[in-house]
Chain A
């Protein structure tokens, strides 16, 4: 399967714990995005990478959130000291450099539940 993959698919954690999610974009896609989606809502933009550079972070991304894309390929999203309000689906998407329409291809998401 050459689509965007995310790991894990589901994560249950206790409040106060740290969690880390991984996203593997489509090969050779240089742009990578993280979104958060709560029940009944559309995804909300969190952050955007072009290659290894993090070019924009939403104000939704508090100090407890950090994202990296060290070699311009896979990316990780870490949440420190999780809170119940962090419970959501975390989606990753990627798009190729040549896509004038910026068509983003989404992964299956990581469902986070904070108890």
Chain B
């Protein structure tokens, strides 16, 4: 069973709207939690990294939150743009080992 579960599997939103992606994990202990953006056919690119003591981290229109007690994280995308269409992957780090979620595919439509 995957130790990192993401929801929803996919979503479609209109340009300019906001959306929130969810990540639940069972990896313990962990060093940090990351969100990556992966465009089709490309490698993942890091958006945010949070340690267990951090509750939130922003990168432009992307804001990640972390609740280490409930082992949940979310990624909020504000004022979506067409270029936000991609897969967003939640990753939990145990030292050098990364456990990846299956990703949420976001499609932004004009």
Contact partner, A106, options B32, B43, B49, Cβ 8 Å? B43
Stretch at the interface among B11-19, B64-72, B74-82, B99-107: B99-107
Q: Which residues from chain A contact B36 at a C-beta distance below 8 Å?
A: 106
Sort chain A's interface into a size bin.
20 to 34
Q: How many interface residues does B have (CB within 8 Å)?
A: 23
List the count of A-B residue pairs having beta carbons below 8 Å apart: 54
Q: Is the CB of B102 within 8 A of A109?
A: no
Is the CB of B46 closer than 8 A to any CB of chain A?
yes
Q: Verify if B89 is at the interface (C-beta below 8 Å from A).
A: yes
Q: How far is the CA of A108 from the CA of B101 in the complex (A)?
A: 19
In this complex, what residue of A is CB-closest to B49? A101
Bound form: Cα–Cα A105–B42 in Å? 12
Q: Taking the complex as formed, is B29 at the interface, i.e. its CB lies under 8 A from any CB of chain A?
A: no
Instruction: State which of B32, B42, B44, B89 has its C-beta within 8 Å of the C-beta of A101.
Output: B32
**From residue A63, how far is it (CB to closest CB) to chain B in Å?**
22
Cβ–Cβ contact A103 & B100, under 8 A:
no
Contacts of A4 in B (CB 8 A): 43
User: B96 to A91, Cβ gap below 8 A?
Assistant: no
7 contacts between A and B (CB under 8 A): A31-B96, A42-B4, A101-B32, A102-B93, A103-B49, A106-B36, A107-B43
Using a CB–CB distance below 8 Å, which chain A residues touch chain B? 4, 31, 33, 40-45, 48, 89, 91, 93, 95, 101-109, 111
